[in-house]
Chains A and B, each alone.
Chain A
């Protein structure tokens, strides 16, 4: 087997907290050249208090790395109150073994994050690059914009192996989101670019007010918005460089906002 990462930082949770821990300083690009002592003393916010990584985690390091891309951070334990894992990350790899809290991979621009569990809301929101893979479910606003902004995820890739919550990819402008499970209401609303592919059942109001971009529903759509119009029926369509097997209807919309988005529906 090829050894991809030469430095591994292992964080094992020894104390959980009911107040969220903010993990935005625990990034490969900030820790790849740090000593064990430095990693232990890295600041994490606990509510409004500055505390150290070692207050909550056992830290182990193996190997060395000269560039952030050669650094992997593995986090074990009950991470359901650990926020902002991989926030603004640009390179390297983070593996979270457990359910994670809000904003995992938010604003990330590169590198890889793997969550072996479920993720709370705002996973990968406003991300511009990199790969975020979630083995479980995600809650609301995955790949969307954050409150107020009209520019959501603009690049990179999010793979959700479970189900996705409401407002998936709201205001998405670029990049790719793949949901292997089902999807709640309002997926792709206000979308202005990028691609969403959903394998499972999807609820109503898909693509509402979308201006551009592509949504592919490989499973079942429960209710189509009346502001989309059927363009054609295609067998085995080629969409954004990939063949989709089967019979697909292509709709265009949202006409309510003079949108020219594409909505592909498997029949």
Chain B
């Protein structure tokens, strides 16, 4: 099928197209130079055209979601939309924990085509991939949790970097994972002993290994293997006043590790939901923003990218492999709390979270997130996230965009809506930046795609994947800087005019018109087969001793991941020819 998207106003930061009126040609699922006269013409004159949205950190599939849905039926009852006969999509339900199909419907309607599931323990990977099979219309890479894995800890302790390399390479294949995720390294493992670690150099009680050692070892391995994405780090001490120093140390601890020369990304580390890691002070009474120091570091260094984890003032659900932190939240709020142990891989926890405009701490967190948006000068270093659903559900991205594009709106909130800690305890009030459409396209498309190392998307250059979103926004005449336009802007961005993925129209005029199966994106390293086999044979007895399942039943079989996009790389980072 061929399409001609006619006369749209195109924002494609990677190819330096900043609001030009132009045509986009689509053929066989790719962006092409030209199409035949048979092409179907879609007149999008004057409308906002961007590459399909890319979310590099969200929680959309796996046991955390299932636990959440089971223990928060009250959340499932929110956001119910009955199925209608005109719609090919089914009913929607859930707010912070939507049903699997609802996740697909809502992302697609927002113009997103790629969404990363950011935390999958290998033991639960089958579960995650099965849930992906119930989410329609997206491309979904999963990040595999390694930061508290016993085999990893053992290799780090014994300084066996080669074995760790083979282990990661093999375990990504078993979990059908795309990249390395590290969550509260050593802290989640310490939770198995009822403890946490305090900062980067506090050793985990059983293995006597520190977060610093884990992060540096895994970063070295990541660059050795040449994975398309860097290590994806949720640093220690999340949500603790005073944690910004730990975050700074983490930023700094890998700066001398050389980036693999074959990868396109700039960073050797991606720090996720940095907002939650940027507080000064010693308690929730004297807490204040530590964003300025961190922003300064990010602006001065190039080995690092981050996403924000913006707070959106909702009643949402926090879910993370950082189980001791969830226990802290439980002690703070007394709300119902779920805790799960994933054997020798990680722990995890959930708790409802209510962010209110009148609660000083929520407002501080909200303002810290916005400080990063305002303060990091290069939009290619950040990506828009809410750590969905931790800071707020992903359907709030358009709302965040409406804040970023209008100082009038933001100042109005600071002056009239939110608690005074936003002004008194952060530097948010000192910024007067307003995002342009080009910058919005960067932090929601181009930058996350580049950070992830998915170079076939996030832009509309020749040969790129034909993932395009068109919004019913008349770019020339619509002024996003006006406060009165914020609600309109949010609504238009929630309901795309067209969402096109792989050259197929999935949404037309805010209605889903086609449902396709989601793609499982994973990364396969070639060239270490022999080493992996030797290592696996050594691991097996230990594995069968410590796990409740047999090694033979552990990996995710091929039939779980249909359809798939396997990113094949040679050991060392060279992308294979057939890609």
A259 CB to nearest chain B CB (Å): 12
Enumerate B322-370 residues with CB–CB distance to A below 8 Å.
335-336
A window 143-189: CB within 8 A of B: 145-150
Q: When the two chains form their complex, are residues B335 and A150 in contact, meaning their CB atoms are under 8 A apart?
A: yes
A145, closest chain B residue (CB) = B74
Whether B72 pairs with A148 at a CB distance below 8 angstroms is yes
Instruction: Report if B195 contacts A (CB, 8 A).
Output: no
Q: Is the CB of A148 within 8 A of B73?
A: yes
Q: Are B71 and A148 in contact (CB under 8 A)?
A: yes
Query: Is B258 interfacial (CB-CB < 8 Å)?
Result: no
**Bound CA span A145–B73, Å:** 12
- Tell me if A147 and B73 are in contact (CB < 8 A): yes
Of the candidates A146, A147, A150, the one whose C-beta lies within 8 Å of that of B336 is: A150
- B314 → chain A, closest Cβ, in Å? 16
B77 interface residue (CB < 8 Å to A): yes
In the assembled complex, the Cα of A145 lies from the Cα of B78 at a distance in Å of 14
Residues of B within 8 A of A147 (CB): 73-74
Q: Is B213 an interface residue (CB 8 A)?
A: no
A149 to chain B: closest residue by CB: B74
| Nearest chain B CB to A255 CB, angstrom units | 16
B117: Cβ under 8 A from any A Cβ: no
Determine the distance from Cα of A147 to Cα of B74 in the docked complex, in whole angstroms. 7
Chain A residues closer than 8 Å to B335, beta-carbon distance: 150
Chain B interface residue number, banded = under 10
CB of B280 to closest CB in A, whole Å: 31
Contacts of A146 in B (CB 8 A): 73-74, 77
Chain A nearest CB from B452 CB (Å) reads 35
Residues in A neighbouring B72, C-beta threshold 8 A: 148
Decide yes or no whether B23 CB sits under 8 A from chain A.
no
- CB-CB contacts of B300-326 with A at 8 A, as 1s and 0s? 000000000000000000000000000
- B131 interfacial by beta-carbon distance below 8 Å: no
Point out the residues of chain A lying under 8 angstroms from B387, CB to CB: none
A235 nearest CB across to chain B (Å): 37
Q: Kindly list chain A residues whose C-beta atoms are within 8 Å of the C-beta of B75.
A: 148
| Cα–Cα distance between A146 and B77 once the two chains are bound (Å) | 10
CA distance A150 to B71 in the complex (A): 12
Cβ < 8 Å to A, chain B residues 489-520: none
Q: How far is the CB of A2 from chain B (nearest CB, A)?
A: 40
Scan residues 260-319 of chain B and give those whose CB is less than 8 A from a CB of chain A: none
Residues of A contacting B336 with CB < 8 Å? Answer: 150
**Closest residue on chain B to residue A151 by CB atoms:** B74
Most buried by B among A147, A148, A150: A148
Contacts of A145 in B (CB 8 A): 74
Q: What is the CA–CA distance of A94 and B457 in the complex, to the nearest angstrom? A: 58
Closest A residue to B71 by CB, please name it.
A148
Chain A nearest CB from B97 CB (Å) reads 11
Which chain B positions have C-beta within 8 A of A149? 74
Q: Chain A residues near B74: list those with CB within 8 A.
A: 145-149
Q: How far is the CB of B518 from chain A (nearest CB, A)?
A: 28
Give CA–CA (A22, B203) in the complex, Å: 59
Interface readout for B63-80 with A: 1 if CB under 8 Å, 0 if not?
000000001111101000
Distance between Cα atoms of A148 and B71 in the complex (Å): 6
What distance in Å separates the Cβ of A103 from its nearest Cβ neighbour in chain B?
13
> Whole-angstrom distance from the CB of A18 to the nearest CB of chain B?
24
Complex Cα distance, B336 from A150, in Å, reads 9
Nearest-CB distance from A151 to chain B (Å)?
9
Q: Which residues of A contact B73 (CB under 8 A)?
A: 146-148
> Closest CB of chain B to A261's CB: distance in Å?
15
Give Cα distance in the complex from A145 to B77, angstroms.
13
Complex Cα distance A189/B382, Å? 47
A187 to B70, CA, bound (A): 25
Give residues of chain A (105-162) contacting chain B, Cβ–Cβ below 8 Å: 145-150
Q: Bound complex: CA of A148 vs CA of B77, how far in Å?
A: 10
Most interface-central of B71, B74, B77, B335 (chain A CB within 10 A): B74
Q: How far is the CA of A239 from the CA of B71 in the complex (A)?
A: 37
A147 to B72, CA, bound (A): 8
A45 to B37, CA, bound (A): 51
Across the interface, which residues of B come within 8 angstroms of A148, CB to CB?
A: 71-75
Name which residue of chain B comes closest to A258, CB basis.
B334
Contacting residues, chain A, for B71 (C-beta < 8 A) = 148
Cα of A14 to Cα of B342 in the assembled complex, Å: 58
Bound form: Cα–Cα A150–B72 in Å: 10
B71 nearest CB across to chain A (Å)? 7
Nearest CB on B from A190, distance (A)? 11
**In whole angstroms, how far apart are the Cα atoms of A146 and B72 in the complex?**
11
The 0/1 profile, CB within 8 Å of A marked 1, for residues 407-436 of chain B is 000000000000000000000000000000
Q: Mark B513-541, 1 if CB is under 8 A from A, else 0.
A: 00000000000000000000000000000
Least Cβ distance of A260 to chain B in Å?
A: 14
Taken together as a complex, chains A and B put the C-alpha atoms of A145 and B74 apart, in Å, by 10
CB distance from A173 to the nearest CB of B (A): 14
Bound Cα distance A150, B75 (Å): 12
Collect the chain A residues with CB atoms within 8 Å of residue B77's CB.
Answer: 146
Q: What separation, in Å, do the CA atoms of A149 and B71 have in the docked complex? A: 9
The docked-state distance in angstroms from the alpha carbon of A43 to that of B88 is 23
Q: Which residue of A lies closest to B75 (CB)?
A: A148
| Alpha-carbon distance between A149 and B77 when the two chains are bound, in angstroms | 10
Q: B70 — nearest CB in chain A belongs to which residue? A: A148
CA distance A147 to B77 in the complex (A): 10
| Distance A145 CA – B336 CA, assembled complex (angstroms) | 14
Which chain B residue has the least Cβ–Cβ distance from A211? B334
Nearest chain A residue, comparing its CB with the CB of B77: A146
A22 to B336, CA, bound (A): 31
Shortest CB distance A154–B (Å): 14
Instruction: Give complex CA distance A148, B75 in Å.
Output: 8
Expressed in whole angstroms, the minimum distance between the Cβ of A212 and any Cβ of chain B is: 13
Between A and B, 6 residue pairs with Cβ closer than 8 Å are A146-B74, A148-B71, A148-B72, A148-B73, A148-B75, A150-B335
The 7 closest A-B pairs by CB, nearest first: A148-B73, A148-B74, A149-B74, A147-B73, A148-B72, A146-B74, A150-B336
A sample of 10 more A-B contacts (CB under 8 A), given A146-B77, A148-B73, is A145-B74, A146-B74, A147-B73, A148-B71, A148-B72, A148-B74, A148-B75, A149-B74, A150-B335, A150-B336
